């Protein structure tokens, strides 16, 4: 076992953090799902004010993405984004033990499922791209509840105890976990077995090359893996967003990502990455309060990026 794959030994801080998390989650699981979700949102609002956790990052990025919004509108959107992230976190944490029927019932509509069915019938696997919008974990649970065999490429977390808990939850709801450092080795096998592979493709991924494409007009480092695998194995690609609706339930929105072959492999890869990033941006514009603005999306940029397009 190499140093990079050896299990990490949790620290005392990790253990205390995990124990507190399990205590809170255990209490919230006694409540109805919507009540637990609401409490998650209220807890997260405290991170914005008075605690100020990631408040500056969040407001700067929102203001850069929506320059026509006033400071008051930016602040309101930032608060609502914290609320959404808190809801998503708690809704995910209480997923263990949720029945297939309950997961399906949390969606009021699904658009584009026929693209998934077409991919399964084609027998070449399916590349699913998504982003940190809405509740991406619940979206995975829905896909699993519909009976689709799929793997999810995930990043490691800071707390190994919490990471193990989240990965157990993911497996319980039907997904197999591929750590991003293993994606190059394991994704080909999954596609050859006609499985779907999910990439949350708006953060860097270990072991996967990246390219820079515009996201709200600023160059953002984005994994090339979904496009590379799609071209290499002739697998179709879709973009999925699992977004919260005014009712408190969700919509699963699925769109096909065009895969073209011009003979220039590098250009074709970049074109696919650009397309699914544009789809994500369109959904973020539609549901701006449900994006993970707390993450520094433009932290890594080309060295020649003009000053006005650098990280806000």
151, β-bridge pairs: 176, 197
- The proportion of the chain whose per-residue pLDDT surpasses 90, expressed as a percent, equals 76
275 touches 215 (CB < 8 A): no
pLDDT attached to residue 10: 87
Rg of the Cα atoms in the chain = 19
Q: Which structure tokens are listed for 264?
A: 């220039």
CA separation for the pair 206, 155 (Å, rounded): 8
Task: Output DSSP code: residue 303.
Answer: T
Q: How would residue 6 be classed by pLDDT, with cut points 50, 70 and 90?
A: low
| Residues 6+ positions from 14 with CB-CB distance below 8 Å | 159, 160, 161, 162
pLDDT attached to residue 168: 81
pLDDT attached to residue 198: 96
More confident of the two residues 169 and 303: 303
DSSP 86-125: HHHHHHHHT-TT--HHHHHHTEEEEE-HHHHHHHHHHTS-
Asked which of 66-75, 118-127, 163-172 is least confident by mean pLDDT, the reply is 163-172
pLDDT attached to residue 79: 98
| DSSP reduced 3-state for 260 | coil
Burial (CB count within 10 angstroms: exposed 0-12, middle 13-18, buried 19+), residue 77: buried
| pLDDT, the chain, mean | 92
CA separation for the pair 86, 43 (Å, rounded): 7
pLDDT attached to residue 130: 97
Query: Which pTM does this prediction carry?
Result: 0.92
Q: How would residue 22 be classed by pLDDT, with cut points 50, 70 and 90?
A: confident
pLDDT in tens, 240-278: 999 999 999 999 999 999 999 999 999 999 999 999 999
């Amino acid at each position: 076992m190499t140093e990079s794959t050896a299990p990490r030994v949790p620290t005392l801080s990790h253990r205390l953090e995990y124990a507190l998390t399990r205590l809170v989650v255990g209490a919230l699981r006694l409540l109805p799902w919507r009540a637990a979700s609401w409490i998650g949102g209220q807890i997260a609002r405290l991170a914005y004010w008075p605690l100020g956790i990631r408040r500056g990052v969040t407001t700067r990025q929102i203001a850069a993405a929506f320059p026509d919004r006033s400071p008051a509108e930016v602040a309101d959107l930032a608060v609502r984004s914290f609320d959404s992230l808190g809801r998503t976190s708690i809704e995910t944490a209480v997923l263990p033990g949720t029945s297939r029927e309950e997961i399906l019932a949390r969606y009021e509509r699904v658009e584009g499922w026929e693209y998934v069915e077409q991919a399964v019938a084609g027998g070449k696997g399916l590349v699913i791209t998504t982003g940190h919008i809405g509740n991406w974990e619940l979206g995975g649970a829905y896909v699993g509840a519909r009976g689709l065999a799929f793997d999810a490429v995930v990043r490691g977390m800071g707390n190994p105890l919490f990471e193990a808990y989240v990965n157990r939850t993911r497996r319980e709801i039907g997904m197999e976990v591929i750590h991003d450092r293993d994606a190059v080795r394991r994704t080909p096998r999954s596609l050859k077995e006609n499985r779907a592979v999910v990439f949350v493709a708006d953060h860097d991924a270990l072991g996967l090359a990246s390219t820079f494409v515009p996201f709200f007009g600023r160059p953002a480092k984005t994994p090339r893996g979904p496009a590379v695998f799609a071209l290499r194995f002739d697998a179709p690609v879709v973009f999925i967003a699992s977004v919260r609706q005014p009712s408190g339930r969700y919509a699963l929105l699925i769109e096909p990502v065009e895969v073209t072959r011009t003979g220039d492999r590098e250009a074709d890869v970049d074109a696919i990455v650009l397309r699914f990033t544009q789809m994500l941006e369109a959904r973020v514009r539609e549901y701006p309060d449900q994006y993970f603005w707390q993450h520094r999306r433009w932290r890594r940029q080309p060295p020649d990026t003009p000053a006005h397009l650098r990280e806000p």
